[in-house]
Amino acid sequence: MKNKSKKICVLVVDDEDVMRNLFTDLLTERGYEVIAVKNGLEAVEKVKEINFAIAFIDVHMPLMNGVETLMTIKKIKPQTRIVMMDSFPNALIEEARREGAITCIHKPFEINEVTDIMEEIVEQKERI
Partner 1 sequence: MKEQILIIEDDEAFRKTLTNLLKKEGYSVTGVSDGFQAIELAKKSLFELIIADVRLPKGMDGIEAVSIIKGIRPEIKVIVIIITGYTDENAPVRALRMGVDDYLYKPFKMEVFLHSVERNIKMYRLEEEKKEHLEMLEKMNEELNVAQHELIQSKKELEDYSKRLEQKVEERTKQLKETQSQLVQSAKMSTIGQLGSAVAHELNNPIGGILGYAQFILQKLSKPDVVPKDFKTCKQYIAYIEEEAKRCKSIVENLLSFSRKPLIALESVDIKQLIENTLSIIRHQLELQNIKLTTNYEPKLPSISGNVNQLQQVFTNIIINAQHAMPKGGKLNIRVSTKMKDGKKHLEISFKDTGCGIPKKNLEKVFEPFFTTKEDWQSIGLGLSITYQIIKELKGIITAQSKVGKETTFTITLPVSSS
Q: Minimal distance in Å, beta carbon 70 to partner 1?
A: 16
Report the interface residues with partner 1, using CB under 8 A.
16, 18-19, 21-22, 25-26, 60-63, 65, 87-88, 107-112
CB 15 within 8 A of CB 71: no
Q: Minimal distance in Å, beta carbon 35 to partner 1?
A: 18
Please give the angle made by the CA atoms of 79, 111 and 64, to the nearest 5 degrees.
50
Q: Minimal distance in Å, beta carbon 112 to partner 1?
A: 8
Instruction: Report how far apart, in Å, the C-alpha atoms of 25 and of each of 29, 30, 93, 97 are.
Output: 6, 9, 26, 27
Q: Which is nearer to partner 1, 78 or 89 (CB)?
A: 89
Helix (H) or strand (E) holding 33: strand 33-37
Q: Which is nearer to partner 1, 56 or 80 (CB)?
A: 56
At 95 the three-state DSSP class reads helix
Q: Minimal distance in Å, beta carbon 110 to partner 1?
A: 6
Q: Which is nearer to partner 1, 19 or 80 (CB)?
A: 19
Query: What is the residue type of 115?
Result: T
